[in-house]
């Protein structure tokens, strides 16, 4: 509205100048006319003053007062119009100020309600990504920021946030596109690019600790002599997937245990609950014994280690070759009743082994692993499991 005020003042000045110019031209015409009508004879000053030509006097006296009155009336009208314009400009200025305040208020509301890394709080961060604080989110961002290029429609932080929301909430690409005001193709492009980068950069969080580190952090429940050498607790988990079109793939992914097409992965946790081993994803048909062998789990095992597992892991001989022992609940097949001592040991083992299931539950809190995995997402599944497992290691200790 400042521009509007300036324009009004300019119009007023222009109108006033126009009126003054008209007045000056009229006065000049009167002077020229009086000079032209004077007699050419040479007279002295007294004669000229005593007997002036009557026509010249009338010509000089009549139009000038009439022009001045007209100009005064026009000036008065201009002043009135100017006052009205000034009042109108003031009202427009006030209206513009109100609209500006309303705009700022709406922009602030949009900023608060929109999905963006710039307005993350700890509560939003935990809900959207599974990361407990914004500080940890920025730690993850700094790990990958050098490897992710910004887009015209999205900054690097929003790309990471959107990818983690895809994993944590299991949202469809169309939903993410609406939340971040981008196209669905942009969402697909960002996710396909960011997931492998995040997996590579976060894999170091899944660390196989030394024996000394494990014993130093051993929870009270494991400090009994019988279980004090426990190095890792292992178990498998499966993720449902769509029925593959290829017959061979269909056979490899069929799980007799789940009665569904699945992908399977092996998880190992330390006695204090941190994920210390994670295999790639395999078809659901693979057995627990085979996935343990093919994932090169035995390369991690050292002499004197105790490995705790479920009954499906018939790997005692393979561990014996490494000088390690296998602890699992006893088999009950063909045995009508177990001795009291064995029952007590079985309860203790089950109470300790349950923590690996709690760790897997933490991983599967990322909804992308709890839903039926689309076949189009299958190439990214192993990397997604790595990211989800690594981020659970940023949470507080599972076992205290």
CATH code, 215: 3.30.420.10
pLDDT for residue 223: 84
CB 15 within 8 A of CB 78: yes
Residue 192 CA to residue 380 CA, distance in Å, equals 8
Residues 193 and 326 in one domain: no
**Residue 399 placed within a domain:** no
Give the residue from 113, 136, 152 where a domain finishes: 113
Tokens, residue 20:
């003054």
pLDDT for residue 29: 74
- Count other C-beta atoms under 10 Å from residue 190's C-beta: 24
In the predicted model, residues of the chain with pLDDT beneath 50 are 1-4, 6, 40-52, 54-62, 64
Residues 384 and 364 in one domain: yes
**Residue 316 placed within a domain:** yes
**Residue 400 placed within a domain:** no
Residues 185 and 294 in one domain: no
Give the residue from 60, 85, 113 where a domain finishes: 113
Residues 167 and 284 in one domain: no
Residues 124 and 103 in one domain: no
Residue 369 CA to residue 130 CA, distance in Å, equals 13
Bridge partner list, 240: 262
Q: Which domain holds residue 30?
A: 2-113
Residues 182 and 242 in one domain: no
pLDDT for residue 57: 44
Residues 350 and 304 in one domain: yes
**Residue 397 placed within a domain:** no
pLDDT for residue 60: 45
Residues 167 and 213 in one domain: no
Among the listed residues 299, 159, 170, 304, the one whose alpha carbon sits nearest the alpha carbon of residue 228: 304
Residues 277 and 352 in one domain: yes
Residues 277 and 259 in one domain: yes
**Residue 91 placed within a domain:** yes
Give the residue from 113, 132, 151 where a domain finishes: 113
Residues 225 and 365 in one domain: yes
CB 148 within 8 A of CB 193: yes
Number of domains in the chain: 3
**Residue 222 placed within a domain:** yes
- φ, ψ of residue 163 in degrees (nearest 5): -65, -45
Residue 381 CA to residue 374 CA, distance in Å, equals 10
Q: 263: phi > 0 → left, psi -120 to 50 → alpha, else beta; which?
A: beta
**Residue 346 placed within a domain:** yes
**Residue 398 placed within a domain:** no
pLDDT for residue 61: 47
- Count other C-beta atoms under 10 Å from residue 385's C-beta: 26
Residues 266 and 180 in one domain: no
């Amino acid at each position: 509205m400042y521009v509007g005020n300036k324009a009004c003042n300019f119009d007023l000045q222009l109108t006033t100048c126009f009126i003054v110019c008209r007045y000056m031209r009229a006065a000049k015409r009167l002077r020229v006319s009086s000079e032209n009508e004077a007699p050419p004879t040479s007279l002295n000053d007294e004669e000229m003053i005593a007997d002036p030509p009557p026509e010249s006097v009338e010509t000089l006296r009549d139009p000038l007062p009439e022009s001045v009155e007209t100009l005064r009336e026009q000036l008065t009208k201009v002043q009135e119009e100017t006052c009205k314009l000034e009042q109108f400009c003031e009202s427009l200025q006030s209206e513009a100020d109100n609209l500006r305040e309303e705009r700022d208020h709406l922009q602030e509301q949009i900023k608060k309600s929109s999905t963006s890394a710039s307005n993350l709080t700890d509560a939003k961060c935990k809900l959207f990504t599974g990361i407990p604080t914004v500080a940890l989110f920025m730690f993850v961002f700094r790990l990958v920021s050098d490897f992710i290029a910004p887009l015209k429609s999205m900054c690097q932080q929003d790309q990471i946030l959107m990818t983690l929301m895809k994993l944590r909430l299991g949202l469809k690409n169309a939903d993410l596109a609406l939340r971040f005001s981008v196209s669905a193709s942009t969402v697909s492009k960002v996710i396909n690019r960011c997931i492998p980068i995040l997996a590579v950069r976060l894999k170091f969080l899944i660390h196989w600790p030394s024996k000394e580190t494990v014993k130093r952090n051993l929870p009270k429940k494991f400090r009994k002599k019988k279980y004090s050498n426990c190095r890792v607790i292992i178990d498998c988990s499966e993720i449902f997937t769509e029925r593959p079109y290829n017959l061979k793939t269909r056979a490899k992914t069929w799980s007799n245990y789940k009665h569904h097409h699945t992908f399977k992965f092996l998880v190992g946790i330390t006695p204090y609950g941190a994920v210390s081993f994670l295999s790639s994803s395999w078809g659901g048909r693979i057995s627990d014994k085979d996935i343990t062998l093919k994932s090169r789990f035995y390369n991690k095992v050292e002499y004197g280690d105790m490995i705790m597992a479920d009954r499906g892991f018939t790997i005692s001989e393979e561990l014996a070759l490494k000088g390690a022992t296998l602890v699992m609940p006893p088999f009950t097949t063909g045995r009508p009743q177990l001795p009291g001592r064995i029952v007590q040991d079985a309860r203790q083992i089950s109470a300790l082994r349950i923590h690996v299931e709690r760790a897997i539950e933490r991983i599967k809190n990322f909804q992308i692993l709890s839903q039926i995995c689309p076949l189009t997402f299958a190439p990214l599944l192993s990397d997604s499991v790595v990211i989800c497992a690594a981020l659970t290691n940023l949470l507080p200790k599972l076992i205290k």
